[in-house]
Amino acid sequence: MHTRLVLRLLFIVALGWGFTRLVQFTPPAWHALVAAMPPVLISLLLAFIFGRSLYQEEALITRIARCEQPHGLSDELLQYTRQLTAIWSLYLLGCALLCAVLAPQLNAGLLAALPPLLAAVLICAEYLFRRWRFRQYKHRNPLALMLFLVQHGFPAR
């Protein structure tokens, strides 16, 4: 598992290096447009991944929820996780649009920070709602869940 993780990290670093080379070779007038590409493209890619999972047997967030509730999910939780996957798809599409619209007004650093900051707000709000709505279940906090998924691997389909 560690080899795969190292290879993925190296791939990400190579993409970043390649992108910086791309920026160097573009005309200065295009720098704002090129700087807007990563947040927009990453948001669109993630929106596609989340949205595509809605047409599969199990939605992406349903797979994550199964890690937290290994004894099975009630019909109510299954419906909730599908709806939450749809919400994330719409959020990510909105982030891509927002980044594209704000690209001329914000510098690259602020633009790149916008989607993760908004995602943190959505994650915390959803966690608080889930703890209130589904009191009868035990819930890991978002950080503990992310650490669990990193340690044990993302659930297979």
Average pLDDT over residues 2-22: 79
Radius of gyration of the chain (CA): 18
Q: Encode pLDDT of 103-137 as tens digits.
A: 778 777 788 888 999 999 999 999 999 999 988 88
Q: How crowded is the C-beta side of 129, counted as CA atoms within 13 Å?
A: 9
What is the average pLDDT across 9-24? Answer: 80
The domain locations on the chain are 32-152
What's the CA gap between 81 and 77, in Å, rounded?
Answer: 6
CA atoms within 13 A on the CB side of 101: 6
For 28-77, write each residue's pLDDT tens digit: 777 767 777 888 888 999 999 999 999 998 999 998 888 777 788 889 99
How far apart CA 94 and CA 47 sit, in angstroms, is: 9
Give the per-residue pLDDT at 52. 95
Q: Which residues contact 108 (CB under 8 A, 6 or more apart)?
A: 35, 36
Is 10 a residue whose pLDDT tops 60?
Answer: yes
pTM: 0.79
